[in-house]
């Protein structure tokens, strides 16, 4: 049994909405946690704190994408599109990340749903990349001036 084109679009739209809201909430929570870090005046403390923030942000983003991937896997499994949850999770992971090995494929009547998951994954992964870059960039701007190397001047080239 396959889903109609309209049904696939409706289900995919609901999933995109859920994952975008989940992603927004997750990024907002991560940003809130990052903002709570205290300003360190000593170089080693700043280094360790910045490292902890970056690792925490990366793990948080990984968990957030995991939740979204599992959401799609649960959808495929609960709709009996893919028989086992392990297989549904594998398919969802490779589709969301646009790896798409092709060893597990959706039935003809559900392929649009998988394609939209791929587009959704690309957008959310890009959003996370921009977020992570912003966090790392912001941390370099917030470092105390004593820990930053001054830019070279014209007189230092002599």
Give the pLDDT score at 35: 76
Instruction: Indicate the pTM of the whole model.
Output: 0.78
Say how far apart CA 99 and CA 96 lie, in whole Å.
8
Please choose, from the candidates 34, 89, 94, the residue with its C-alpha nearest in 3D space to the C-alpha of residue 58: 34
- 37-52 residue pLDDT tens: 654 455 556 777 778 8
Q: Is 88 exposed, middle or buried (0-12, 13-18, 19+ CB in 10 A)?
A: buried
Mean pLDDT of the chain, nearest integer: 85
Q: Bigger pLDDT: 113 or 150?
A: 113
Residue range 79-105: mean pLDDT, rounded: 95
- 75-89 residue pLDDT tens: 999 999 999 999 999
Residue range 7-32: mean pLDDT, rounded: 93
């Amino acid at each position: 049994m396959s889903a109609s084109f309209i049904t696939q679009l409706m289900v995919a739209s609901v999933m995109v909405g859920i994952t975008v809201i989940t992603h927004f909430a997750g990024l907002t929570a991560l940003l809130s946690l990052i903002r709570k870090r205290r300003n360190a005046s000593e170089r080693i403390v700043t280094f360790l704190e910045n490292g902890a923030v970056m690792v925490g942000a990366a793990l948080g983003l990984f968990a957030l994408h995991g939740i979204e991937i599992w959401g799609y896997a649960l959808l495929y499994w609960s709709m009996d599109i893919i028989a086992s949850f392990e297989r549904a999770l594998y398919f969802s992971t490779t589709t969301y990340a646009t790896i798409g090995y092709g060893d597990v494929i959706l039935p003809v009547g559900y392929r649009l749903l998988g394609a939209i998951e791929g587009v959704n994954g690309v957008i959310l992964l890009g959003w996370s990349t921009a977020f992570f870059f912003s966090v790392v960039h912001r941390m370099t701007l917030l470092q105390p001036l004593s820990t930053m190397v001054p830019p070279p001047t014209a007189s230092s080239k002599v």
